[in-house]
Amino acid sequence: MDAIFNEYDLVDLSDKLNIRNISSIHEAIFAKLKSGKSILISIPEGAEADLSFIQLIESARIQVKSSGTHILMSKPATGSVLDILERGGFREVFSAEDKKFWLHQEAIQ
């Protein structure tokens, strides 16, 4: 997997992934996407996230589908990111693609 990660431009986020910082997070992610590069999102251990972060990432995922670029998470969602996905009901309706993106789980055939 490390070889795949080398093809991506890293977006190293802060540990505050919330509405107060969502503009700077948006700027960091979409600036890289505007450059035409695929991105790898890195979330620090113990990061504090809220629903605005999940919405922003989902928006970025939708945008890249039509752009020919890709977006990956450097590691599976944990902590408050995973908690928001669970409490928001996202995990209950995850597609195979969602599981691969957020949880790094491959679909079982």
Question: What's residue 37's pLDDT?
Answer: 85
Q: Which two tokens stand for residue 7?
A: 């093809």
Question: What's residue 26's pLDDT?
Answer: 97
Question: What's residue 47's pLDDT?
Answer: 96
DSSP 74: S
Q: CA-to-CA distance for 31 and 25, rounded, in angstroms? A: 10
Question: What's residue 57's pLDDT?
Answer: 97
83, 57, 86, 93: which is closest to 72 by C-alpha? 57
H helices of 35-78, where?
51-65
Q: CA-to-CA distance for 107 and 6, rounded, in angstroms? A: 24
**Chain centroid, CA 61 distance in Å:** 8
DSSP 24: H
Question: What's residue 3's pLDDT?
Answer: 53
pLDDT in tens, the chain (109 residues): 455 556 789 999 999 999 999 999 999 999 998 888 899 999 999 999 999 999 999 999 999 988 888 999 999 999 999 999 999 999 999 999 999 999 999 865 4
Q: What is the pTM of this model?
A: 0.88
C-beta separation of 51 from 80 below 8 A: no
Question: What's residue 35's pLDDT?
Answer: 85
Sketch out the chain's domains with CATH numbers.
Answer: 2-103 (3.30.750.24)
